[in-house]
Structure 1
Amino acid sequence: MEVTSTAADGVTVVRVAGEIDHNSAGPLIHALGLGELGVPPRVVVDLRQVPFMDSSGINVLLGAHRDIAPAGGWLRLADVQPSVLRTLELVGVQQILP
């Protein structure tokens, strides 16, 4: 998995390419760490190149949201592939992360 981050106008865009699972989640965890983000942390996670995400990826996203929200920021998901979106919908993530 490859993770890149860019920042513009106070928003960090984290682009992910590849499958997100227990073995590959480390770079995403690092990219979503509060020390890597602006203040307040406003983050868009671009998932257009993610064909698969298991519970590890879901936990990373929810954990980042849990850390970012109290810091006055937000986390959003963009361009989620249908296969990943289905998984997120099944566990109700879309109710927490728009």
Structure 2
Amino acid sequence: MESEKTYRPHPLEVVSTASDGIVVVTVSGAIDHASVGPLVQALDPGRLVGRPCVIVDMRHVSFMDSSGINTFLATHRDLTRAEGWLRLAGVPASVRRTLQRVGVDTVLPCYPGLDEALAA
């Protein structure tokens, strides 16, 4: 008898913190069409107070598809219109390659870690 296993990535966990006018959104797990909802909510400019400055800490992201890319591009557009900004920090190599292939790394600033993104 054959057994069938379904492998599901870890669910997406999104935690937002604010300090000195900068919102840090820490993301863990896989960002895909089925899991992107909490990330979209966390990055909603309507939920941000004042000048919307956001850093997404991605060091624990295991996978990202076009849903994540589209979310980041839309957020970048909305925050820029509101005179704010979006930065990505700690992007894992596999996710960074995806961003580079589609040219997103030329639009969104990517930093090696959270400290560098905060200092920029």
SS in 1 for 2:18: strand
1:16 aligns with 2:16: no
Matched with 2:78 is 67
**Matched residue SS, 2:87:** strand
Q: What SS does the corresponding residue of 2:73 show, helix, strand or coil?
A: helix
Indicate whether 1:50 and 2:79 are aligned: no
1:38, distance to aligned residue in structure 2 (A) = 2.8
Q: Which runs of 4+ in 1 moved over 2 A?
A: none
Establish whether residue 93 from structure 1 lines up as the match of residue 76 from structure 2: no
One-letter amino acid matched to 2:20: D
Q: Which runs of 5+ in 1 are unaligned?
A: none
What TM-score results when the alignment is normalised by the length of structure 2?
Answer: 0.80
Higher relative contact order structure (alpha carbons within 8 Å, sequence separation ≥ 6): 1
Distance in 1 between the 2:46 and 2:26 partners? 17
Whether 2:51 is the aligned partner of 1:40: answer yes
CA deviation vs aligned residue, 1:30-50 (integer Å, no higher than 9, x gap): 000012223110000000000
Cα deviation for residue 97 of structure 1 reads 0.3
What TM-score results when the alignment is normalised by the length of structure 1? Answer: 0.98
> Which of 1 and 2 has greater Rg?
2
